[in-house]
Amino acid sequence: MAGPILVVDDDRFFRQLASDILSRKGYQVVVAESAHLALEEVSRTSFDLIISDVVMPEVDGFTLASQLREREPDQEIILISQRTDVKGSSMALRAGVADCLTKPVDEADLLLAVERAMERAALRRERSQLRDENLEWLRYQNIHQRCLEFLSHPDLEWLQERVAADLASLCDAQSAALWIADDRGDLILRAYRGLLDRQFLVERMSPEGPLGTRMREATPWVAQDERTPVLYVPFVTGGEITGLAQLSDPLSGGFRPEHLRYAKILGDFAAVGVKNGRRIMALQRLGLRDRDTAAYNLSYFTDYASKEIYKARRYGRTFSLLTFSIDNLNLVRLRLGVQEAKRAVRGIIKALSRIVRDSDVIAKASDQEFYLLLPETDFFGAMMFVRRAAVAVREEPEAREVEARLPLALMGGASTFPQDGEDFDELVYRCRRRMDERRTSLQRKLMLDTLPFWDEVDLLLGNASSPRLPVEERAEPSRRGKVSDVLYEELQAEIAREMLRDPSSRGLLYVGGPEIRADSPIALGLESAPPELASRIYLLGRRSDLESHPGLTPVFLEGDDRMSRHEFILWLSEKAAYVLLQRRGLGATWGFHSSDTAVVDGLITKLQSEYDLQPY
């Protein structure tokens, strides 16, 4: 279909004449009485042909033709003048006009010139359309080639990186973030690139959250945040949400309709690729498990750990490695038999499998040693897992039946990337060092595991005539004897200062004494605690003058004579483990203090059990 023609002339009679002639031939005609009005029309509408008079006030036809050519180099232009020497003149040639006619214009000459110009415009339009169609076809070929790669690569780690990169490239986005659904359906941040600030990206999203309804429509959409348009691309296949991409900082300042089309195609194929990748990973894991325990073999675990190290380095993440050892497995095998030893190992693995997340991996390193990898877990979280593991093993029927005849010496150690090391061997070494520390701790030497909280307190405190505590060079130091009367208060103040120095560091602190007072050093020291304080602090004792506090939780224990006779501090954090137990009498204060992690951890566990306190 031919496009419109613009007739420009300050002579009303000629405008009307040309319009009538061209309209009778079926052309769509627009008229303008000056060059300025013609340029305004051109800015609003695309014309196949512009017919202009040469002599006009202010801006003549040659100048208008030059300005039109600057806008559109291929614009068809016919000039009309009363002068016969215009045709072929240097000015006409420079202006690049298609033809020049003289007034009065013969109708046949005008129609012939217009017909030729419109044919050339139609040919150019057709050629341009074919070029655009070819480019679009090549672009879609490229897109579908990328999509086929999504389906042909089973490696989920590769797929996550590739999808983020391809979406950003095709949509001209400088930044991209990608969340992939885990086995529970939650969307977990797996990749990001470009100008994004990691701290502002959500680690985990629920598909039932604010974006859930929009994602299930399986159609990309654009939103506007404070600084840039954001293109969201949901990955949905068979009604299941497998991922979500967020693209931002477009190079052109905004996302165009074709970007949404490209994103839709890539998102649909990525959804299938992610689903296939998870299935293949599940099958691989199934074939890489130990037959007796269902734990992964060591080769798979080391490969998985190397990938986790790569991701942690690239994205500034953390993860923890745990080792568990059944120190007396040979004794169990000797006394109870091979089958009972296998039963004990199987029960321990079942117990650990029950408390791990879908992203955690358990592997069998040898008959008596196991590895666990906990992504996105700091050192404090790893220590808490070791505590939960001990409880889970005691509750597992197979392990419990073996323990009824011979106690299992299960030992656990933890290390965290990058603070304990940046390669697998370093992390394993730190785990084993910490297991050795637990083997030489007072907790094991004095067999404190079976004692209730207050019985262990009495044993550790002892008195002036009690035997000396066993000393082990490799163990953390522990001491008992007379202590300063102000040590209890000074330690509270120092711990409060340490927590305020790094509010994001997680930890547990229990401060117990006869009364819960508002002027206690820990309460005063944490009055200005920020809302993001990650440690949990509890004050235990009789009610006094403290009802509530912004940084700690009071736990009122009325009528417990043991609390009235003792004071204690139990502190376990990512960076420290410390216990102070003391008994005030008529003379000097008698106390026990230690940095033995196993002792501190054991006392906290028993304190929580004694007073029904919620575990961390």
- For 294, the token pair is 């269902």
pLDDT tens digits, 127-143: 888 777 776 776 777 77
φ, ψ of residue 512 to 5 degrees: the values are -120, 145
d(CA 465, CA 478): 17
Amino acid 276 reads N
Q: What CATH topology corresponds to 5-124? A: Rossmann fold (3.40.50)
pLDDT tens digits, 430-441: 999 999 988 888
pLDDT at 283: 66
d(CA 321, CA 415): 5
d(CA 269, CA 562): 66
- For 385, the token pair is 């897992």
Long-range Cβ contacts of 292-296 (<8 Å, 24+ apart): 292/342, 292/345, 292/346, 293/345, 293/346, 293/349, 293/364, 294/349, 294/353, 295/349, 295/362, 295/363, 295/364, 295/370, 296/361, 296/362, 296/363, 296/364
pLDDT tens digits, 173-198: 999 999 988 877 888 888 888 888 77
Per-domain boundaries in the chain: 5-124, 156-286, 289-439, 453-610
φ, ψ of residue 569 to 5 degrees: the values are -130, 125
**Helix axis angle, 257-287 to 156-170, nearest 10°:** 180
Q: How many CA atoms lie within 13 A of 224 on its CB side?
A: 2
Judge whether 293 and 349 are in contact, CB under 8 Å: yes
CATH superfamily of 289-439: Reverse transcriptase/Diguanylate cyclase domain (3.30.70.270)
Predicted confidence band at 429 (pLDDT cuts at 50, 70, 90)? very high
Amino acid 547 reads E
Q: What CATH topology corresponds to 156-286? A: Beta-Lactamase (3.30.450)
pLDDT tens digits, 20-34: 999 998 889 999 988
Among 2.60.40, 3.30.1340, 3.30.70, 3.30.870, what is the CATH number of 453-610? 3.30.870
Predicted TM-score (pTM) of the model is: 0.61
pLDDT at 88: 47
